[in-house]
Amino acid sequence: MARDLHRLISESSGEFDFGVSLPRRRDLRIALVGAGAIVNSAHLPAYAQAGFTVVGVLDIHQDRAEATAQRFGIERTYRDLEELLSDPAVEIVDIAVTPTAQHAIAINAAASGKHLLCQKPLAENFAAAAEIVSAAEVAGVKLAVNQQMRWTPLIACAKRLIEENSLGDPVFAAIRAHLLTDWSEWPWIVAGVRGDLLYHTIHYLDSMRYLFGLPEWVFSAGTRRSDEALQLETATLTILRYASGLHALIDVNHGVWADDRFATLRIEGLTGLIKGTIGLEYDPPHGRVDTIQIKTIDQYPEWTDPHPTGRWLPDAFVGPMASLMRAIEDGKEPATSGRDHLDTLRLVFAGYRSMEERRAVAPSEIEVTQQP
């Protein structure tokens, strides 16, 4: 029987409680490596919102670092990585660069004793990602990966309902996102041969794993539009099969020319159902607030809207940094730790192996000694 959802939905406001658990100390000092669009539109607005302390910023373009520092009231810009890592004021390094550049920066930052927030994917191949995780563990520093979709209202609500058994045993889940993406905004992606699965659907794979754990196997197919002069996949279909019998579908197409583009989540359980929209994918880059509807056999026989507040961008970006700070305080691991992220990468690279070999692939097949 479904648990009482009134414990989840505030009876006074009708709003679902999506609050991030903040650290006791918010003055752990952060320095940023990278001052690009995502830092200015998400990282720094989120940190300002949470009351976190940013002490410096580094970018290969000094004028961009200075403009970001001026905009957000950051006291210091650095000439190079060595200067940043030698700054005793810096406790956490937030690395916001391409995966190729991230590897060396993360290894050096860990060796200098700084805690790390890295971007997803942690690296472009599994072995390189595992090297970063190992370097952080050897250095005794905390490593989190910025898989912030877990802190969006829609995923946070689904997680809580599943934990409370309000949906009963899940039998079907689907994320479907039919979008129009201008890949030229990321020339370093366009220059490569991997696209959606590694740089976009990784969010959805991480969310599915967060909600349901690792599946028994992954089956993926990828393609691109015939008029796209790209080597990478821009449309993918991925099926995750779980031992319980649950099937999860991730259906993504970045080439929808029509004006009815959409991004949705639906989870069906034996006694309940949740569905909603992924707000960021509507009117990007700012997006909308997620929409959520819940229906259960007993407690909510009619569709119920928990009135979510907050957005993926920038609000959910508080989550990974707050989790990292709590891990530093408590001596535990962040929710999206580097080692946790390796399991998300197992799904990604199992998907690529599935595409190449045209078969279902178990995540356990992806190991450090093997190329995906």
pLDDT digits (tens, 9 = 90+) for 138-163: 999 999 999 999 999 999 999 999 99
Domain boundary among 118, 147, 176: 147
Domain boundary among 147, 168, 189: 147
369 pLDDT tier (thresholds 50, 70, 90): low
Residues 202 and 291 in one domain: yes
11 pLDDT tier (thresholds 50, 70, 90): very low
Task: Provide the residue range defining the domain that includes 63.
Answer: 29-147
Higher pLDDT pick, 285 / 176:
176
Residues 69 and 204 in one domain: no
* CATH code (residue 108): 3.40.50.720
- Measured N-to-C along each axis, helices 126-139 and 99-111 cross at an angle, to the nearest 10 degrees, of 20
Residues 210 and 252 in one domain: yes
Higher pLDDT pick, 22 / 365:
365
Average pLDDT over residues 94-119: 97
The Cα 109–Cα 103 span in angstroms is 10
The Cα 114–Cα 104 span in angstroms is 14
Position 18 scores a pLDDT of 54
For residue 193, which amino acid is it? Answer: V
Position 308 scores a pLDDT of 82
Position 6 scores a pLDDT of 43
Position 371 scores a pLDDT of 47
Position 13 scores a pLDDT of 39
Distance of CA 18 to the CA centre of its chain: 16
Average pLDDT over residues 297-310: 88
207-210 long-range contacts, Cβ below 8 Å, gap at least 24? 207/149, 207/150, 207/155, 207/175, 208/173, 208/175, 208/240, 208/248, 208/250, 208/347, 209/343, 209/344, 209/347, 210/150, 210/155, 210/159
For residue 294, which amino acid is it? Answer: I
pLDDT digits (tens, 9 = 90+) for 68-98: 999 999 999 999 999 999 999 999 999 999 9
Q: Is the pLDDT of residue 15 over 70?
A: no
Angle at 276 between CA 23 and CA 350, to 5 degrees: 75
Residues 349 and 224 in one domain: yes
116 pLDDT tier (thresholds 50, 70, 90): very high
Average pLDDT over residues 316-335: 96
Average pLDDT over residues 12-40: 80
Residue 203 lies in a domain: yes
Mean pLDDT of the chain: 92
Residue 21 lies in a domain: no
How many Å is the Cα radius of gyration of the chain? 20
1 pLDDT tier (thresholds 50, 70, 90): very low
Residues 141 and 153 in one domain: no
Residues 286 and 255 in one domain: yes
Residues 173 and 278 in one domain: yes
Do the Cβ atoms of 59 and 39 come closer than 8 Å? no
12 pLDDT tier (thresholds 50, 70, 90): very low
Position 19 scores a pLDDT of 61
Residues 138 and 153 in one domain: no
Q: Is the pLDDT of residue 9 over 60?
A: no
Name beta bridge partners: 251. 176, 237
105 pLDDT tier (thresholds 50, 70, 90): very high
309 pLDDT tier (thresholds 50, 70, 90): confident
Residues 41 and 92 in one domain: yes
Residues 298 and 161 in one domain: yes
Residue 19 lies in a domain: no
* CATH code (residue 305): 3.30.360.10
Average pLDDT over residues 91-116: 97
Helix (H, G, I), strand (E, B) or coil at 96: coil
Q: What is the model's pTM? A: 0.93
pLDDT digits (tens, 9 = 90+) for 47-74: 999 999 999 999 999 999 999 999 999 9
Nearest to 316 by CA among 19, 95, 96: 19
